[in-house]
């Protein structure tokens, strides 16, 4: 695996007061879930189901698809590795810049993988486009063709228009589309539903309960796809990969989907406000986003230095995004937090820019 994911507060010796580095939206009430888990701690003393069928059944009911169309995983990350394994040796295109794990997993499982930068540069520096082009999914080399994409995309928050995506899927029935919807609960743009994913023969959809419910410590995600594909994925998974506490949490959340509610319009509105504040700082650019996190770039200087300074001087954590393939050393990613925290961040970045121009 590569180094340099977000949420790396453990690297700094001081307290982090505001954490913008992870896309997990933490300002939700996990009280009821924690109370439930505290009462279920006896579960640590028993093996979980080797394959978490009971949880998969509950997820299937929630998503209105057959149980055979669901594979529960230890976070969306395990799903990415299982898919890369199940389809090893494929000819993969990864629509980027994006989450590095697709490329890492492809490399580990002998895919011929290429990063395809979503075209149409914006403002002369950022290669991702607002428009997804079906031609980017063409694969000409030998072997099974796969396309990997994240929707909304990490790190820029862009959503590919549903009609464009559906058109590409229909136009290339032999190409398997891996669509990571980990951030699907954090956009108001139209996305493919689980039922639509399961109805196609060439779609693998990823979901993250980690992201939706702000429980990244537990590792819980799932794949929705046609049962033929799910069968293939289940064949390469190891037993007990989803631990008992994650299963208990998943069962609880399927039964109580309104746990940890998010006021999405308010969150997106606050994200928009933060973006405007940052854009107003000379030397800072922000890519338009369809969700609560956004990709920014320093016109001059390195994001790593800004990151270290924010952590040490302000107890603020951001995500250095320079290690996303296709991005440069000026790039960083932030996820909107509370109004007060967002203002603090904007002020701090402004002070940094004023001192470094």
- Spatial contact of 168 and 134, defined as CB atoms under 8 Å apart: yes
Binding piece for its own copies, criterion CB under 8 A, among 64-72, 97-105, 177-185, 312-320: 97-105
Q: How many residues bind its own copies (CB under 8 A)?
A: 57
Burial pattern 88-115, b for ≥16 Cβ within 10 A else e, equals eebbbbbbbbbbbbbbbbbeebebebeb
Asked if residue 336 lies in contact with residue 266, where contact means CB atoms within 8 angstroms, the answer is no
Residue 247 CB, shortest distance to its own copies, in Å, is: 9
Name the residue nearer to its own copies (CB basis): 108 or 141.
108
- How big is the chain, counted in residues? 357
Biggest CA–CA distance in the chain, Å, is: 59
By DSSP bridging, strand 145-150 and strand 91-96 are parallel
> Which position among 12, 54, 196, 264 is part of the footprint of its own copies (CB under 8 A)?
54
Stretch that binds its own copies, among 101-109, 118-126, 180-188, 250-258 (CB under 8 A): 101-109
Give the per-residue contact string, 247-286, with its own copies (x = CB under 8 A; - = no). Answer: --x-------------------------------------
Comparing CB distances to its own copies, the nearer of 47 and 173 is: 47
Tell me whether strands 112-117 and 91-96 are parallel, antiparallel or unpaired.
Answer: parallel
Instruction: Tell me how many degrees the CA angle 28-258-203 measures, rounded to the nearest 5.
Output: 100
Is the peptide bond between 252 and the residue preceding it cis, with omega within 30 degrees of 0? Answer: no
- The tokens describing 215, both together, are 């429980």
Grouping H, G, I as helix, E, B as strand and the rest as coil, residue 353 is: helix
- For the bound state, the minimum distance from the C-beta of residue 4 to its own copies, rounded and expressed in Å, comes to 9
The residue within the footprint of its own copies, chosen from 13, 15, 38, 265 (CB under 8 A), is 38
Residues 190-249 that bind its own copies (CB under 8 A): 214-219, 234-241, 243-246, 249
> Judged by CB under 8 A, which stretch of 103-111, 124-132, 271-279, 293-301 contacts its own copies?
103-111
Q: Using the rule CB under 8 A, which residue among 78, 156, 180, 290 binds its own copies?
A: 78
Distance CA 71, CA 160 (A): 25
Q: If you write DSSP's letter for every residue of 78-99 in order, what string do you get?
A: HHHHHHHHHTTT-EEEEEES--
Q: Residue 49, interface with its own copies (CB under 8 A)? A: yes
The interface region with its own copies, picked from 69-77, 199-207, 281-289, 304-312 by CB under 8 A, is 69-77
Binding residues for its own copies, per CB under 8 A?
1, 3, 5-7, 9-10, 22, 24, 26, 30, 33-34, 37-38, 41-51, 54, 74-75, 77-78, 80-81, 85, 101, 104-105, 108, 214-219, 234-241, 243-246, 249
């Amino acid at each position: 695996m590569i180094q340099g994911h977000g949420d790396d507060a453990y690297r700094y010796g001081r307290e982090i007061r505001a954490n913008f580095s992870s896309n997990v939206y933490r300002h939700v009430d996990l009280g009821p879930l924690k109370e439930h888990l505290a009462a279920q701690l006896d579960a640590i003393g028993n093996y979980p189901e080797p394959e978490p069928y009971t949880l998969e059944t509950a997820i299937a009911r929630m998503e209105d698809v057959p149980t055979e169309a669901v594979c529960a995983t230890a976070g969306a990350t395990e799903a990415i590795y299982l898919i890369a394994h199940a389809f090893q040796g494929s000819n993969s295109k990864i629509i980027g810049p994006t989450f590095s794990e697709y490329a890492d997993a492809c490399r580990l499982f002998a895919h011929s993988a290429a990063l395809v930068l979503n075209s149409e540069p914006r403002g002369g520096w950022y290669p991702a486009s607002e428009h997804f082009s079906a031609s980017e999914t063409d694969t000409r080399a030998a072997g099974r063709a796969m396309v990997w994409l994240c929707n909304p995309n990490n790190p820029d928050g862009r959503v590919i228009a549903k009609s464009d995506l559906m058109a590409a899927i229909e136009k290339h029935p032999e190409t398997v589309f891996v669509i990571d919807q980990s951030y699907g609960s954090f956009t108001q743009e139209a996305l493919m539903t689980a039922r639509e994913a399961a109805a196609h023969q060439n779609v693998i959809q990823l979901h993250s309960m980690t992201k939706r419910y702000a429980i990244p410590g537990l590792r819980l995600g799932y794949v929705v796809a046609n049962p033929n594909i799910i069968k293939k994925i289940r064949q390469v998974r190891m037993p007990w990969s989803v631990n008992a506490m994650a299963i208990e949490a998943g069962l609880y959340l399927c039964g109580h989907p309104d746990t940890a509610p998010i006021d999405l319009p308010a969150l997106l509105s606050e994200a928009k406000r933060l973006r405007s504040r940052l854009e107003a700082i000379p030397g800072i650019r922000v890519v338009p986003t369809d969700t609560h996190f956004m990709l920014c770039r320093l016109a001059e200087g390195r994001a790593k230095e800004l990151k270290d300074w924010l952590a040490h001087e302000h107890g603020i954590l951001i995500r250095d995004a320079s290690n996303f393939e296709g991005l440069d050393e000026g790039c960083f990613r932030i996820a909107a937090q509370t109004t007060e925290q967002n203002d603090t961040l904007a002020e701090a970045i402004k002070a940094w820019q004023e001192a470094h121009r």
